[in-house]
Chain A
Amino acid sequence: MSADTVIDVQGLTKSFGRFRALNGLDLQVEKGQVHGFLGPNGAGKSTTIRVLLGLLRADGGSTKVLGGDPWRDVVDLHRRLAYVPGDVSLWPGMTGGEAIDLLGSLRGGLDEKRRDELIERFELDPTKRGRQYSKGNRQKVAIVAALASDVELFILDEPTSGLDPLMENVFQEVIGEVKQRGASVLLSSHILAEAESLADRLSIIRDGRIVETGTLADLRGHVRTSIRATLERVPARAALADLHDVHLDGTRLTATADAGKIGDAMTQLAPFGLAALTVEPPSLESLFLRMYEPDADAAATP
């Protein structure tokens, strides 16, 4: 493994009883990058993360976190990473401030100035008891506890699922700062806009294995761009070799084209006279819908 890889997972398997949660998963996260980790519910995101944290023991495959073994080198590794769980549960009688300080000091101390600054930016009241917080506020407690520490790697499991859009913005800013500091982030998320704006690379997991990994542009390359046009003359289908899924309603055309062949498609359309034209790169949504579909295997594995 190269010195620039902070997480390196090869062929990871994990079963619970007869249920196979992870099925030969590969995952690499480069140093200094934000790596988006996406997939439908129950695909194995949290299981993967909990293996990386040494909470679950892998059945097979190799797992390296910051160059160490997450099961054996627990104390060393945990000093160098911070974690925000997906379901934050706080001690009912303990205040948010107390929980932040406890979790911080168990990791080996946190940056007091940064702690107070984050509490202010996230508009968190640290004097409330655990049982009084809403879901979003519990999440803020976990986020502040993790991000107030000066570590090399952040592992975030759907950290913003309860935050309002305003706080979501603050979160994105803070992750940007963390990245500038040179830290690496593994960000599991359902919020596509978040992944789109934050992640340098993405991995998509389904049924316990990674089905797609790369930059957003790489992933988009696999999905066709959609084209809608109003023409002046009804075209001959034979002339439109580079357009797929062609649907004609009089002179109104909808079709798709491969990302690399958009120019050719335009050339083929031009002779029929373009009265109106919309060319849309695949949205992340359509990308995911394709990846998540149960029968997407054929499409996903080239």
Chain B
Amino acid sequence: MSALSGTAPLLRATVRHDGRSFAPWVLIATFLSASSVLVYPWVFPDEQDRTGLATAIGANPALGIIFGPAFDISTTDGFNAWRSLALGGFLTALGAIFAVTKATRGQEDSGQAELLASGVLGRGSRLLAGVGLALIGSLAVGVVSGVVTGLCGGGWEASMLLAATFTASGWMFAAVAAITAQLGSDARTASSLAVGTLAVLFLLRGFAYSMDAPQWTIWANPLGWMTETRPANGDHWWPLLYAVVFTVVALAIAFALQARRDFGQGAIAPRPGPAHGRIRSTLRLALRLNTGQIITWLIAFAGLGVVFGYFTMSIHDILGKDSAVSAILAAGATTPDELTSAFLVTILSLVGIIASIPGVQFMLKVRSEEMEDRVEPVLVGAIRRQRYYVSNVLLALALPAISVLLAGLVIAALASTADIGVEFGDAFAQAVATVPAVWTVVAVSVAVIGIRPQVSLAAWIGVLASFVLTLLGPTFKLWDWVLAISPFWHIPNVTDSSADRTGLGWISLVTLFFLVVGFAGFRRRDIAV
């Protein structure tokens, strides 16, 4: 029996049962790419509008961190390449990571894998089936989004190349996830490792382009290869070869590691622990269960603060390089200080949106603990349900707030040392003003888990809406009342004394409403159903 026998039937079954888990990623990537092509000629019909857009993007380098460099956005395909390349690849990579992790570590955690492994199945077959699903799924993302974009009016070569970068990103991170699935000893650790790698490379690429870093920093980064294909601006296909080589090498490493480890174990063996416990309350329990996550996120936000802080310090140079921005500055239409404070608002909103992710994760953890029968024994203690829920909600609100303040503190400290007209107090106050919006987003998940946990994916709605409306909304020229759905739209610029601050009050009322709904729901509903 070879190491891979039994793969074919397993892969067929995996695709049939878990294939649909790729559907959202296909839809989102296709929507992202096709919508650019449809919307651009309509929203930006003439040269003047397009120059205006280029200026606006140049004036807010925070956008560059997410979207990458705008090589040429005066054409439909160029605009699409700028808007979709980084995000589409990021999302496809996320889908690939989750697919691989679920088919490997996820199955081992839940015991399904044991059933499978005892059948006629080679050692590497389960991993190969998981990787196969991710490769096929990523390919589907590319084919569907490329064809749909072309049919919607995109240039075929540029659209297909752009779509190919989605697929290539998915392939590379399927391979990365195959490695992390051998390193982490459970599904959560394995996917955190892979997503962390993706996030770091993603941000590094954004910075490398925005800061005019040396060329090697771009070529050392697999995601940099994707940007260097330059769809609609040269159409280089050859960097995709690097991606294929990367995928093959990483997969070879993953299979070598897989052949060495024991079933259900990671690289690090567990040691005996204390025979007596000191945890006496539900809050301590919530802290204990999330310790690893809390530490990881705090380190991540300190790092994010350093990176964004340095970025802010060089804001004047970055703005000065952009000829259109220099022109409006010279004309006196705006001042560098105004642009800088607008930049700070955006960058802290971005920090806030990222910070709401751990909050939502903590609330989803409440649900997964419930489904794994670990909440029942706790609630059978002399504990009110509300107290159990409050412990978790407190944590889900506190960690994002602390993360934003931590990153804000670092950004403020760094920015105030550079001669760019940013006061430490103002910058930190801006971070404080961001916190209520983060709480609104997290409160959505508190309501969902409290009242309808069966649709736990809905807990992400707040994060998704904030991200789409805050970052993509302006490129659609959406109306204010639509943009106002995102709580981050209501954050005032604290240096602008005429800015309307009542918005923070309104979104806090919304937060309160969601919290009340969540608590009422959790008190009344059946547990673990």
Contacts and interface: CB of A to CB of B under 8 A. Distances in A.
A87 B374 CA distance: 10
Contacts of B288: 94
Interface string A115-145: 0000000000011110110000000001001
Given A94-B277, A95-B277, A128 B272 contact: yes
Given A57-B526, A92-B186, A94-B288, A85 B277 contact: no
Interface of A: 16, 50, 53-57, 74-76, 78-79, 81-83, 85, 87-92, 94-95, 97-103, 105-108, 126-129, 131-132, 142, 145
B101 to A, nearest CB: 16
20 contacts: A16-B529, A53-B376, A53-B379, A53-B380, A56-B529, A57-B524, A79-B382, A85-B376, A85-B377, A89-B374, A90-B374, A91-B289, A94-B277, A95-B275, A97-B275, A98-B276, A98-B277, A102-B378, A103-B378, A108-B382
Nearest to A56: B526
Given A97-B277, A128-B272, A55 B384 contact: no
Nearest to B375: A55
Nearest to B284: A102
Interface string B253-273: 000000000000000001011
A90 B378 CA distance: 11
Query: Which among B273, B289, B385, B526 has the greatest number of chain A C-beta atoms within 10 A?
Result: B273
A249 B272 CA distance: 66
The 10 closest A-B pairs by CB, nearest first: A106-B381, A98-B277, A101-B277, A95-B273, A97-B275, A127-B272, A79-B382, A89-B373, A126-B275, A55-B527
B377 A127 contact: no
Contact of A89 (B278, B372, B380): B372
A50 B528 CA distance: 10
Contacts of B289: 91
B279 interface: yes
Contacts of A98: 273-274, 276-279
B180 to A, nearest CB: 18
B2 to A, nearest CB: 31
Interface string B369-399: 0001110111111111100000000000000
A99 B382 contact: no
B280 interface: yes
B201 interface: no
A90 B277 CA distance: 14
Given A76-B382, A131-B270, 9 more contacts: A53-B379, A56-B529, A78-B382, A95-B274, A97-B274, A100-B277, A105-B280, A108-B382, A129-B273
Interface residues of B, number: 35
A97 B274 CA distance: 7
A133 to B, nearest CB: 11
Contact of A142 (B274, B279, B377): B377
Nearest to A129: B270
Interface of B: 186, 270, 272-282, 285, 288-289, 372-374, 376-385, 524-529
Contacts of A74: 379, 382-385
Contact of A55 (B272, B274, B526): B526
Contacts of A108: 381-382
B189 to A, nearest CB: 10
Query: Which among B276, B277, B385, B527 has the greatest number of chain A C-beta atoms within 10 A?
Result: B277
Contacts of B272: 95, 127-128
A126 B274 CA distance: 8
A56 B527 contact: yes
Contacts of B270: 129, 131-132
Contact of B381 (A16, A78, A89): A78
Contacts of B524: 57
B277 A83 contact: no
A129 B528 CA distance: 24
A143 to B, nearest CB: 12
Contact of B273 (A89, A106, A127): A127
Contacts of B275: 95, 97, 126-127
B409 to A, nearest CB: 31
Contacts of A78: 380-383
A127 B273 CA distance: 5
A83 B276 contact: no
A83 B377 contact: yes
Contacts of A94: 273, 277, 288
A62 to B, nearest CB: 19
B276 to A, nearest CB: 5
A89 B378 CA distance: 12
A56 B525 CA distance: 7
A81 B372 CA distance: 22
B378 A106 contact: yes
B372 A102 contact: no
B266 to A, nearest CB: 11
Contacts of B384: 74-75
Nearest to B371: A89
Query: Which among A85, A90, A98, A129 has the greatest number of chain B C-beta atoms within 10 A?
Result: A98
Contacts of A128: 272-273
Contact of A75 (B274, B373, B374, B382): B382
B103 to A, nearest CB: 20
Contacts of B529: 16, 56
Nearest to B264: A131
Contact of A83 (B279, B280, B380, B385): B380
Contacts of A90: 374
A288 B303 CA distance: 65
A107 B381 contact: yes
A56 B279 CA distance: 27
B528 A85 contact: no
A119 to B, nearest CB: 8
A34 to B, nearest CB: 20
Contacts of A55: 376, 379-380, 526-528
Contacts of B282: 106
A4 B373 CA distance: 32
A129 B376 CA distance: 20
Contacts of A92: 186
B239 to A, nearest CB: 41
Nearest to B285: A102
B276 A97 contact: yes
Contacts of B526: 55-57
Given A85-B373, A98-B279, A107 B379 contact: no
